[in-house]
Structure 1
């Protein structure tokens, strides 16, 4: 009787173990640049605590690049979670591709300036200082995502220097703006702070003045055809949690004000 009991107990443990393994899922995540640094810190912590794994694809929230999240989804790539600029996510919700009830606010991102490591840092603490830095610069780079669209279409106009900047400024696609500043190809590089800080070979200068700042909200949602919606929801709740905020802030993002 004792041997039978031990065998039965062992079989139960094995069964439970196999069940736990079977319940672990691979969550397919698409994330855009602004939240990526925070995601790279928080993702492994989620994996460790849940046993699930993350399969991650990087791409901008908008634009013509094939890596852009809307373009990935349009050609049928599968995802359980998308993390991107809030208004771009809203467009996907309107198209019926993202479950509107799944939308989660993650962080606010501000635009900053970087120069090549060792180069003088201009004073951009005021609008006049920012304007002078732009006019004095030999070349200016900005991203092909939300921050760059704002700079190209609004900031230069608001500062009254659109005509002067057009010949010497360029939108950089696919790669971090900081990378072309690090090589010396461009003197000034503007992008969301969280995307500038991780780039080697550059020095972060400052955020642009609040009076001409553009705050980008990052949010996340679950596609309507997600294969693992329950696990995806757990990931989003963790990324937006109070416990995650120290890591979010450490990457240059600001916590969402509720």
Structure 2
């Protein structure tokens, strides 16, 4: 989350007054990003408006119709696509994290067979 806070700081670098920062993000980051945005607002007096999208297709559609954003947080594929289309500044683009998938099983349940995608 420090990197996201630094990224938000970059978004307003040089501004001597409070400004609005518009962030578009995948909903998976909502819990942490809301906290970071609130802390950033308290420390800088800048207002951060974060719009969360349930999936990459929703985020892609909003970007395709010109949804404005100061900061975009999304999966690598989306970011690379936006870079190819010239919608992002390549010098300001940075990978800041990775998301994994886990499986939780009740203690009294058998372990699932996850050896292949077919199972």
TM-score normalised to structure 1 length: 0.36
- Residue of structure 1 equivalent to 2:85: 95
SS at 1:31's partner residue?
A: strand
Distance 2:52 2:62 in 1: 10
Cα RMSD for the two superposed structures: 2.3
| 2:38 is equivalent to residue 44 of structure 1 | yes
Q: C-alpha separation between the residues in 1 aligned to 2:79 and 2:71?
A: 11
Higher RCO (CA-CA < 8 Å; seq separation 6+)? 1
Q: Point out the structure with max Rg over C-alpha.
A: 1
Unaligned runs of 5+ in 1: 1-21, 124-128, 133-154, 162-258
* Structure 2 partner of 1:74: 64
Deviation at 1:160, TM superposition (A): 3.7
Distance 2:78 2:43 in 1: 30
Task: Work out whether 1:130 is the aligned partner of 2:112.
Answer: yes
Instruction: Please give the secondary structure, in 1, of the residue aligned with 2:77.
Output: helix
In structure 2, the residue corresponding to 1:87 is in which secondary structure?
helix
Where 1:58 maps in the other structure, the secondary structure is strand
Q: CA deviation at 1:80?
A: 0.8
Asked whether the equivalents of residues 26 and 56 of structure 2 are also in contact (C-alpha less than 8 Å), the reply is: no
Question: Is the CA contact 2:26–2:55 (under 8 Å) kept in the aligned structure 1?
Answer: yes
Residues matched between the structures, number: 103
Aligned equivalents of 2:82, 2:54: Cα separation in 1:
14
Alpha-carbon distance, 1:33 to partner: 2.1
Following superposition, the deviation at residue 74 of structure 1 comes to 1.1
Instruction: Tell me the secondary structure at the aligned position of residue 112 of structure 1.
Output: coil
* TM-score w.r.t. length of structure 2: 0.73
The 8 Å contact of residues 27 and 54 in structure 1, kept in 2 or not, is answered as yes
CA distance in 1: counterparts of 2:60 and 2:21, whole angstroms: 18
Contact 1:93-1:100 at 8 Å conserved across structures: yes
Deviation string, structure 1 residues 184-220 (Cα, Å, up to 9, x no partner): xxxxxxxxxxxxxxxxxxxxxxxxxxxxxxxxxxxxx
